[in-house]
Amino acid sequence: MTNDRDHRIDFYRGLALIFIFWDHIPQNPLASFTLRNFGFSDAAEVFVFLAGYAAVLAYGKIALRDGYLVATVRILRRAWVLYVVHIFLLAVLMGIIFVANNHVETRDMIQEMNLTYFVSNPQQAMVDELLLRFKPNLMDPLPLYIVLLLGLPIVLPLLIKRPAQAIGLSLVLYLAVQWLGWNIPAHDNGLWYFNPLAWQVLFVLGGATALHAARAPVAVARPLGRQPLFLACATLVTFSALVALGWRWPVLHEALVPGWFGELLYPIDKTNLSPSRLLHFVALAYCVAKLIPQGEWVNHLLARKVALMGRYSLEVFCLSVVLAPLADMANALADDQLTMQIASALVGAGLMLALAEWLELNKRLGRPRPELPKLELAKSERPVVALGKSL
């Protein structure tokens, strides 16, 4: 496995974090430019896929160097850290929502954030919170990642040695979920919004992609127009973009999606990661990888700033969860004026970048400084001391 870092991964993960933040702010005009408006999938698929990519790349190296037992211990320790972060973040988020709800008169933020269950039954809600059964809005991705990470020690050896078999078993589980409707119970007789039994397929595909990228030799580039797989993926991405635009223009939608096809296409279920979402994301990822190779563009200022947020994805995501309701409160207090909606979205993204910059600075300050070379002065440059005085 190579040690070369693909900075595109950090960039795409940072971009996904910005999109998730903007999508989480109600009535945010900048959310019209996020991924969900141009296809069947959205930034959540990007986040989970790249989480699998980064996790397998990191812990796969540890497994090959130190053994699977050491890798498993590292994975479980990371999952425990994420669990503690989830509990702490949930407490902070609920405190912000309860305070904000006292100042906002135009909407019920407790109901919007799905905190009514906690208000009506706090004791049981606390138990469900510790069991990852109670998840207010905005908090679903972190428990999903915890569960996927807990399953990584099981799939990692097979993924490293026989990736095709690992992908095959993952797809079998995914298809069983689509056919049988399996899910994990949540609070109040509900189900997980992000079904881990379905979303695991993206996590596994991300890990398999990381291993393939690390092992595959550099292939001779062929014109994209002569690659059937690329053409098929580009066609699917283009068609899904037109359908997504058709959701705003019914005439276009009726022309692209006749009744019989609509019965096959809809609903585009996010909970169980419907096949249309999965196929669209895989096609989109393949097209992006082919059209935007590693190059000097990742060294440009804006790309480096976005990639920096992706490098500290956990911390930046947690901050975005806190900032989204604060932005919503600011918008409500300003009567949802367009200028305030745009300003709150941009300021929030700026604060996310500021956190990443601060974490990077702390990391640099924490590194041991290299020893300065000792300078040898020539005889003519050495101080002359006579009678206890320097001349």
Per cent of the chain over pLDDT 90 is 66
Angle between helices 338-366 and 7-23 (to 10 degrees): 140
pLDDT tens for 103-126 read 887 788 888 888 888 888 889 989
Q: Report residue 190 CA to chain centroid gap.
A: 24
Give the pLDDT confidence score for residue 231 in this predicted structure.
94
On the question of pLDDT at 384 being above 50, the answer is: no
DSSP string, 337-380: -HHHHHHHHHHHHHHHHHHHHHHHHHHHHHSPPPPPPPPPPPGG
Average pLDDT over residues 222-226: 73
Give the pLDDT confidence score for residue 220 in this predicted structure.
56
Average pLDDT over residues 239-256: 87
18 pLDDT band (50/70/90 cuts)? very high
pLDDT tens for 337-375 read 999 999 999 999 999 999 999 999 998 887 666 554 554
Identity of the residue numbered 24 = H
Tokens 């994975």 belong to residue: 75
CB 283, CB 229: distance < 8 Å: no
On the question of pLDDT at 10 being above 90, the answer is: yes
Identity of the residue numbered 167 = I
Per cent of the chain over pLDDT 70 is 91
Which segments of the chain does DSSP mark as H helices, in order? 7-23, 43-66, 68-101, 109-112, 116-120, 122-130, 141-161, 163-180, 196-215, 228-246, 250-256, 259-265, 275-291, 301-311, 313-333, 338-366
Give the pLDDT confidence score for residue 264 in this predicted structure.
85
The span from the CA of 167 to the CA of 227, in Å, is: 23
pLDDT tens for 189-205 read 789 999 999 999 999 99
Name the average pLDDT for the chain.
88
The span from the CA of 81 to the CA of 48, in Å, is: 18
Measured CA distances, 266 to 243, 279, 364 (Å): 12, 14, 49
- DSSP conformational letter for 381: G
Other beta carbons less than 10 A from residue 51's beta carbon: 23
The span from the CA of 141 to the CA of 132, in Å, is: 12
Give the pLDDT confidence score for residue 391 in this predicted structure.
33
CB 205, CB 178: distance < 8 Å: no
pTM: predicted TM-score of the whole model, two decimal places: 0.89
Give the pLDDT confidence score for residue 262 in this predicted structure.
85
Q: Is the peptide bond before 267 cis (omega within 30 degrees of 0)?
A: yes
CB 7, CB 307: distance < 8 Å: yes
pLDDT tens for 273-319 read 999 999 999 999 999 998 888 778 888 999 999 999 999 999 999 99
Give the pLDDT confidence score for residue 219 in this predicted structure.
57
Average pLDDT over residues 133-154: 93
User: CB-based contacts of 22: which residues, under 8 Å, 6+ apart?
Assistant: 28, 30, 31, 33, 34, 345, 349
Phi first, then psi: give them for residue 295, nearest 5 degrees.
Answer: -170, -170
Buried b (16+ CB within 10 A) or exposed e, 115-140: bebbeeeeeebeebbeebbbbbbbbb
User: CB-based contacts of 66: which residues, under 8 Å, 6+ apart?
Assistant: none
The span from the CA of 12 to the CA of 23, in Å, is: 16
On the question of pLDDT at 269 being above 90, the answer is: yes
CB 271, CB 183: distance < 8 Å: yes
On the question of pLDDT at 149 being above 80, the answer is: yes
pLDDT tens for 204-215 read 999 999 998 877
Report which of residues 202 and 253 the model is more confident about.
202
Beta bridge partners of 50: none
User: CB-based contacts of 382: which residues, under 8 Å, 6+ apart?
Assistant: none
Identity of the residue numbered 230 = F
pLDDT tens for 56-91 read 999 999 999 999 999 999 999 999 999 999 999 999
